[in-house]
Each structure stands twice: as C-alpha cells, then as structure tokens.
C-alpha cells in the first residue's frame, strides 16, 4: 500500500509534466541572464564533484535548460564522466598552464571559467563549502546569475532557497544559495506544518553521517562526535528560508556514510486541530516526501532506506525524497515527535533545478516547477 502511494505520486508528477509543456518564459532584469531570449536556459556547473555531477544530470534531464559546460580543477577521474555524458569540459581557472594540463592528459578542455561563463546564463557553483564565496565576484563581473550551495553562508549570498519555502521570494533575483541537505529536509516537513498552524516552535537533533561514501578524508570512523556549538547551524538555517519558524538544533556526527537522521520535536499552537493521522495525510500530499511504515515494510534503518532507494533505480542510488517512518510519528497534545532520514548527496539536487527556474523567472509556481523537475528526472532515469 505504501509503495502504491509512492508510485501514485510519480504518476501525478508525470501528468503535471505534460500539462506544463507550454510554460511561460519571462524576460526581466538587467543582467545577461535577465535578458534570456531563448527557450533554453544555458547552465554552467562550476565544480563537478558529488553535488555538481548530480545537478548536471538533473539539468540535462529538463527540456527548458541545458548544460553548456562543467569545470574540473585538474584532469582527475571525474573528467571521464563529463566526457561520457557529452558535457563540454572547462578548467575551474583561467590559468593557461592549468588549461593545457587537460590536453596533456588526453581531455579536450574548452577553456577556463571565464570562457564557460561567456556562454552561460546561470552558473551553479558546486565547489567545496566556503570556497564558493571567492567565485561570487567572478560571476557578477561576467553578468551571469549564480546559485551557491549550503556550504556557503547566507550572509554571503543574501538570499537562500528551498522549493517549498520561498520560491516566490527568489523569482528573478541575481543569485541565491540552495540550503544544505539538512535544511532542505527540515523545510520539506516543517513548512507545510507551519502553513497549517501559523506558528511553530521546533527543537531537533541532527544525527549526521561522518562523510560521503566517496570521501576518505573525514571522520569519525569510531566515535560519536557532538557539534560543540549550540545551537548547531542546521535549525537556525531553516529561518533563512522561512523566518517565521522558530527552531533550534543540536548535532552529532556518527560513523556512517549513507544518510542523516533527524529527531524532531515540534510544539504546535493551541487549537491546531491536527492528529497524527492528519499530519501524515498532509505530508503525503506534499512533494518529495516518502512515508513508510517500518514494521510493515521492514525498512527500519537507514541501510534499508538506501537499499529501497537503489531499488527505485535512480543513478548513484539517490533518494531525492525525505524518508519519514510512519510508525515513528506521534502527536501528543500539542507536541509532535518524528524521525526523518535524509540522503545527503541528493535531496538538494532537484531543488537546484527549481532554483534555476526561480532565478530566471521561467516558472513562478513552486509546485509546478517541482512536478516538472521530478517528472523529467524520472523519465531521464527510465522510471
């Protein structure tokens, strides 16, 4: 029954995609990207790593945007994937020697970052956290719109984005930051609750994966490491996209590579009129959430959630949806308790596509953008 609910959701997404084929294209703003004349937004990816390669494919899946190039800092193994995908390869830097090093390693490099920005309307910066800030001037000087990732500070971008919280506020702005995987996950379940209740007080604990599966440089590998900054940045970061939600968080890193788990306690206002069942019903009508009963399905840990994700068949075994255990949700009076699991490498990927639509003004309704994004990704993965 739960699987049926999940696949019905995809069916709805596909039909929404068909009805959106004649979407609106709006030309606003003064930058180059604001004067988009074509039907297809030209997207550059700066930093073709864990997030960058996934965003590239998600963009490639859409019919209203295209990848004009991806950057690598040097001719390392990720270049082969870009070549296989047919994405033009550029060097992250304009330095002639670094550009030439690609040819020496057998790759065709089309130039440096400036050359790539010259053919792009918008750049999605997927460089490592805190590195992106140094790229902002380069983007502004090139007159392209820019999207940073959650490793950058909100203060640097002045705008942040998640599809469910503030698509409208991001329409036609010069640049934004797609918030982190954790903030994206928190927003997906808390924003609909806030919109029903009109106020929300939240305390949560982030149980964080130590490192991504492809990352050998981080830890811990045999310890539980509390984040000794209280509150951690995760909860308050939700307020960069939905300031009305009052939220604090604490965090610990644990020796796993596959997912984060959130332990959430939300205080609802008097007269909220909700029950555990109606909250589950509300979430099931919202996109990019999967709700399953652990006892019924046998999916009781993040290991099984990831196995379920691999069964779905998206590339890299990604799970763009936030996973909620139905039997881990309980409303007691005004206090709601629940767990959710986040696939850190992939929940932000479709949000980047929606953010491109917001910044270029080609779709002002977040639900329509989400439906279009997700249906196109499903088709791309032959699902």
Q: Which residues are catalytic?
A: 181
Q: Which of 69, 150, 175, 235 binds ligand NAD (CB under 6 A)?
A: 150
Distance in angstroms (rounded) separating the CA atoms of residues 2 and 293? 8
Min dist CB 70 to ligand NAD, Å, is 9
- Segment interacting with ligand NAD, rule: CB under 6 A, options 20-28, 33-41, 46-54, 247-255: 46-54
The reply to whether 378 sits near ligand NAD by the rule CB under 6 A is: no
Min dist CB 346 to ligand NAD, Å, is 8
Residue length of the chain: 383
User: Taking each helix axis from N to C terminus, what angle separates 366-380 and 50-60, rounded to the nearest 10 degrees?
Assistant: 90
Min dist CB 149 to ligand NAD, Å, is 3
Distance in angstroms (rounded) separating the CA atoms of residues 241 and 161? 6
Q: Which of 13, 17, 34, 50 binds ligand NAD (CB under 6 A)?
A: 50
Buried b or exposed e, range 144-182, using 16+ CB within 10 angstroms: bbbbbbbbbbbeebebbbbbbbbbeebbbbbbbbbbbbb
Size of the site for ligand NAD (CB under 6 A): 27
**Residues in 79-138 at the binding interface with ligand NAD, rule: CB under 6 A:** 92, 126-129, 131, 135
The reply to whether 180 sits near ligand NAD by the rule CB under 6 A is: yes
Distance in angstroms (rounded) separating the CA atoms of residues 376 and 312? 15
Min dist CB 364 to ligand NAD, Å, is 25
- Segment interacting with ligand NAD, rule: CB under 6 A, options 12-20, 41-49, 137-145, 366-374: 41-49
Nearest 5°: the CA angle 298, 300, 301 is: 130
Among 336, 361, 165, 354, which Cα is nearest to 245's? 165
How many CA atoms are closer than 13 Å to the CA of 2, on its beta-carbon side? 18
The reply to whether 373 sits near ligand NAD by the rule CB under 6 A is: no
Q: Which of 151, 192, 236, 294 binds ligand NAD (CB under 6 A)?
A: 151
Min dist CB 76 to ligand NAD, Å, is 7
The reply to whether 286 sits near ligand NAD by the rule CB under 6 A is: no
Distance in angstroms (rounded) separating the CA atoms of residues 51 and 60? 14
Among 367, 348, 204, which Cα is nearest to 285's? 367
Min dist CB 222 to ligand NAD, Å, is 21
Distance in angstroms (rounded) separating the CA atoms of residues 162 and 183? 9
The reply to whether 163 sits near ligand NAD by the rule CB under 6 A is: no
- Segment interacting with ligand NAD, rule: CB under 6 A, options 32-40, 163-171, 266-274, 343-351: 343-351
Distance in angstroms (rounded) separating the CA atoms of residues 376 and 17? 7
With beta carbons less than 8 A apart as the criterion, state whether 187 and 238 touch.
Answer: yes
Burial category of 330 from C-beta neighbours within 10 Å (exposed 0-12, middle 13-18, buried 19 and up): exposed
The reply to whether 149 sits near ligand NAD by the rule CB under 6 A is: yes
Min dist CB 47 to ligand NAD, Å, is 3
Q: Which of 20, 43, 45, 48 binds ligand NAD (CB under 6 A)?
A: 48
Residue sitting closest to ligand NAD (CB): 49
State which residue, 11 or 156, has the beta carbon closest to ligand NAD.
Answer: 156
The reply to whether 57 sits near ligand NAD by the rule CB under 6 A is: no
Q: Which residues bind ligand NAD (CB under 6 A)?
A: 46-52, 71, 73, 78, 92, 126-129, 131, 135, 149-152, 180-181, 212, 344-345, 348
């Amino acid at each position: 029954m739960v699987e049926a609910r999940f696949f019905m959701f995809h069916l709805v997404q596909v039909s929404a995609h068909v009805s959106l084929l004649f979407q609106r294209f709006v030309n606003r703003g003064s930058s180059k990207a604001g004067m988009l004349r074509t039907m297809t937004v030209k997207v550059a990816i700066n930093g073709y790593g864990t997030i960058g390669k996934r965003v590239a494919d998600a963009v490639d899946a859409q019919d209203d945007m295209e990848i004009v190039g991806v950057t690598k800092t040097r001719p390392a193994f990720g270049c082969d994937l870009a070549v296989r995908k047919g994405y033009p390869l550029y060097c992250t830097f304009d330095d002639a020697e670094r550009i030439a090093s690609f040819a020496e390693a057998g790759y065709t490099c089309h130039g440096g970052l400036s050359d790539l920005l010259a053919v792009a309307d918008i750049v999605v910066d997927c460089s490592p956290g805190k590195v992106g800030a140094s790229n902002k001037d380069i983007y502004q000087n090139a007159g392209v719109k820019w999207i940073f990732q959650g490793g950058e500070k909100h203060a640097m971008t002045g705008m942040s984005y998640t599809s469910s919280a503030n698509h409208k506020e991001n329409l036609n702005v010069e640049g934004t930051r797609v918030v982190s995987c954790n903030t994206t996950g928190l927003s997906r379940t808390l924003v609909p609750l806030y919109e029903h209740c009109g106020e929300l007080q939240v305390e949560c604990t982030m149980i964080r994966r130590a490192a991504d599966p492809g990352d050998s440089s981080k830890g811990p590998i045999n310890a539980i490491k509390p984040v000794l900054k209280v509150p951690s940045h995760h909860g308050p970061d939700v307020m960069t996209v939905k300031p009305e939600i009052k939220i604090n968080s604490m965090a610990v890193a644990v020796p796993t590579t596959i997912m984060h788990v959130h332990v959430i306690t939300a205080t609802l206002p008097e007269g909220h009129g909700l029950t555990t069942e109606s909250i589950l019903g509300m979430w099931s009508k919202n996109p990019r959430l999967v709700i399953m009963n652990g006892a019924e399905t046998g999916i009781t840990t993040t290991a099984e959630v990831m196995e379920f994700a691999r069964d779905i068949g998206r590339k890299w075994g990604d799970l763009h949806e936030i996973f909620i255990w139905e039997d881990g949700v309980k409303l007691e009076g005004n206090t709601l308790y629940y767990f959710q699991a986040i696939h850190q490498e992939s929940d932000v990927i479709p949000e980047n596509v929606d953010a491109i639509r917001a910044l270029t003004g080609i779709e002002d309704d977040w639900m329509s953008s989400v439906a279009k994004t997700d249906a196109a990704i499903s088709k791309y993965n032959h699902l």
